[in-house]
Amino acid sequence: MEKKKRVLVGLSGGVDSAVCVIKLLEAGYDVEGMFMRNWDSSLNNDVLGNPHTLDNVCPQEVDYMDALTTANELGIKLHRADFVLEYWDRVFKYFIDEYNSGRTPNPDILCNSEIKFKAFLEKANQMGYDYIAMGHYARIKHFEDGSLEVYRGLDKNKDQTYFLCQLTTEQLKNALFPIGDLEKSEVRRIAKEHNLTIANKKDSTGVCFIGERNFKQFLKNYIPATPGKMETLDGEVVGEHDGIMYYTIGQRKGLGLGGAGDAWFVLGKDIKRNVLIVGRGSEQEYLYSNRCLVSKMNWIGPEIDESKEYLAKFRYRGIDYKANIHPLGDGVYEVVYPGRAKAVTPGQEAVFYDGERLMGGATIDSVYMDQEKRCL
């Protein structure tokens, strides 16, 4: 790392970003922090499903005070930026539109491409910083010719490159990930060694920048519930759902279907008829696929080689599948994974690797077993 360069750290109030500051200071950088406020519950009608409506201080302000405490303890300046409008327009509207269409989006990916590495980056550039840094568990190599390579974080349980798959080389060229070479336990240890107040603070969970919610109730704030039928693959009506957007592919709990025999689970969604397709037992085979079509491809590695076997990940906590990628034209790609994968879901992201190196990602549009399309 070059010394005496100015770095703006996205300081969230959590332990990961705090240790980013420590590592950068140790490396000789001129470091300051910025806290991002991206969600306003009262302005955004975040009432149903929100466990904090009666709190005296909202969680965002608690996080800001934690970030301010950390900044003071580490002797750096803390700025504050409001991206509530940007988050709503660039992330949340898409999030709701996708659920309205019956798909399952991943807001964390858009949070990175539209807020952390766009709105935040633009603000940092305006303020004259050389780099931005985030507390992601990812590794990045910058080369003298301006090229770069992104690799999975050393801590395989915390690796977050999946969520970085839509970032361009332009967004990444001045980005640093100071804790990518650390295990989470080491991050905690460093925070304790520096006597940080937030050293034992729990990691944030829930929707990106929004937090923990009763998700079904939360969606009702923005999407009217439209009840419909639950049907088996052969068309038998076995129950009713209270809104197709509330269910995910492969879901087993909360269907309200009982009776003797194997448990029920969600096989797919028939959006046109507002029907939830369910099954049990051997019908679980319907959840498997061996190819999918994707679009909105963002590729940061060497040009796609159709003969090369990449690794594909179809969900954050999912396993890697060996896969070939074939351009079909008009921005559409076929991804073939002979080993079969379970519950590959439209709206989610297919993320591609060459070993440990992140190559890019694309949005899943449709899913097939051989030539048969799944109604996912």
Q: Are 310 and 354 in contact (CB under 8 A)?
A: yes
350 DSSP β-pair partners = 362
Write down the catalytic residue from 20, 58, 165, 208. Answer: 208
- For the CA atoms of 283, 287, 292, 293, the dihedral, rounded to the nearest 10 degrees, stands at 90
20 belongs to the catalytic site: no
Write down the catalytic residue from 111, 165, 292, 375. Answer: 111
Angle of helix 15-26 relative to helix 184-193, nearest 10 degrees? 70
58 belongs to the catalytic site: no
User: What are the DSSP calls for 243-266, one per residue?
Assistant: -GGG--TT--TT----SSSSPEEE
State the DSSP code for 63: H
List Cβ neighbours of 305 (8 Å cut-off, separation of 6 or more): none
Report residue 166: phi and psi, to 5°: -100, 10
Burial class of residue 42 in the structure, from the number of CB atoms within 10 Å of its CB (0-12 exposed, 13-18 middle, 19+ buried): exposed
Euclidean distance between CA atoms 128 and 5, whole angstroms: 11
List Cβ neighbours of 202 (8 Å cut-off, separation of 6 or more): none
Q: Which residues are annotated as catalytic? A: 111, 208
